[in-house]
């Protein structure tokens, strides 16, 4: 099961294509938001949050996805639970996917001390030990496939996530 971390203003196209691709491969997803209410996308479409950031932990999921959406990302940047969710998934060596806009969440976390070469990427998709970031130019299909491959490995022990300070 994959947690999709969103708040109001999330990028509907990114979330729906990501969910569709994962569901097609038999992977379940859960919308995780600050509260148990509907979250409204950038296209004014809604999704029901079935888990909340205050009451869920990344250890309950096989992987984590942070989609874009300017309003959603800005809100999550101010939510310590969202930053903690990302760091905990990293610490437990779980697959993590971030869209281009969600890079700001990565930058606010303590992960840049662990992944130093993300800004030096020479391709549209950065993939280091199950930590996947796609630039705006990246192919959706390639991004989804990279995450599915990382998910199939379950944990990425070579990441040494336990070295992230607690």
pTM of the complete model: 0.94
Least confidently predicted of 110-114, 119-123, 128-132: 119-123
For residue 56, is pLDDT > 90? yes
| pLDDT, position 162 | 79
pLDDT band at residue 150, thresholds of 50, 70 and 90?
A: very high
What is the Cβ-side half-sphere exposure of residue 18, based on CA atoms within 13 angstroms? Answer: 26
**What mean pLDDT, rounded, does the chain reach?**
92
What are the residue boundaries of the structural domains of the chain, listed by start? 2-158
Concatenating the DSSP letter of every residue in 46-96 gives EEE--EETTT--GGGSSEEEE---HHHHHHHHT-HHHHHHHHHHHHTT--E
Instruction: Report the CATH fold assignment for 2-158.
Output: Rossmann fold (3.40.50)
| pLDDT, position 165 | 74
């Amino acid at each position: 099961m994959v947690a999709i971390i969103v708040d109001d203003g999330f990028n509907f196209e990114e979330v729906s294509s990501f969910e569709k691709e994962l569901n097609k491969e038999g992977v379940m997803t859960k919308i995780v938001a600050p509260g148990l209410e509907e979250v409204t996308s950038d296209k004014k479409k809604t999704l029901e949050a079935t888990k909340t950031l205050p009451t869920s932990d990344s250890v309950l999921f096989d992987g984590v996805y942070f989609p874009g959406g300017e309003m959603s990302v800005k809100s999550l940047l101010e939510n310590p639970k969202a930053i903690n969710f990302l760091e905990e998934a990293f610490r437990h060596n779980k697959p993590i996917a971030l869209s281009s806009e969600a890079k700001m969440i990565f930058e606010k976390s303590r992960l840049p001390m662990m992944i130093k070469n993300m800004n030096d990427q020479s391709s549209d998709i950065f993939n280091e030990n199950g930590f996947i970031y796609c630039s705006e130019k990246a192919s959706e299909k390639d991004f989804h496939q990279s995450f599915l491959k990382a998910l199939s490995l379950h944990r990425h022990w070579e990441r040494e996530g336990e070295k992230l300070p607690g």
